[in-house]
């Protein structure tokens, strides 16, 4: 019989590895005890690592209350177990920032 039918539901298919999920919300331990006194942050690794192991993390720093003023900041991983501890490098002096963290694997950067 001819006529109209409702569209079928879409299937999501990845052609490569899925990126990791969201790491836990970062918290501030405080400044490094040595110059240049970089902030030391901690966060939980993502619960969903995607299809490959996590290869690295990056930090997005933005001016407090102004997410439009963002910059990517390198993370120097100090320790990685149940909690990832890292120094946020290169922020410059006398700034107040909020942080978000992303994880990366062979599938790319997660949310």
Quote the pTM value: 0.78
Confidence of residue 69 (pLDDT cuts 50, 70, 90): confident
**How far, in Å, CA of 42 to CA of 88, rounded?**
10
Please give the pLDDT value at position 55: 92
Other CB atoms within a 10 A radius of the CB of residue 19 amount to: 23
**Above pLDDT 90, what percent of the chain?**
41
Q: How is 64-111 classified by DSSP, letter by letter?
A: TTEEEEEEEEEEEEEEESSSEEEEEE---SS--EEEEEEEEETTEE--
Q: Rounded distance, CA 66 to CA 96, Å?
A: 11
User: Region 52-56: what's the mean pLDDT?
Assistant: 91
Question: Number of helices and strands (H, E) in the chain?
Answer: 0, 7
Q: Residue range 95-111: average pLDDT?
A: 89
Cβ atoms within 10 Å of 27's Cβ, excluding its own: 11
């Amino acid at each position: 019989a001819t006529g109209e039918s409702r569209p079928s539901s879409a299937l999501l298919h990845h052609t490569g590895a899925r990126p990791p999920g969201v790491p836990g919300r970062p918290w501030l331990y405080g400044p490094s005890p040595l110059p240049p006194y970089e902030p030391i942050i901690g966060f939980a690794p993502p619960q969903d690592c995607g299809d490959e192991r996590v290869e690295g993390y990056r930090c997005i720093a933005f001016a407090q209350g102004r997410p439009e003023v963002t910059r990517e900041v390198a993370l120097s991983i100090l320790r990685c177990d149940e909690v990832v501890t890292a120094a946020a490098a290169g922020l410059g002096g006398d700034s107040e920032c909020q942080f978000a963290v992303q994880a990366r694997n062979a599938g790319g950067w997660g949310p």
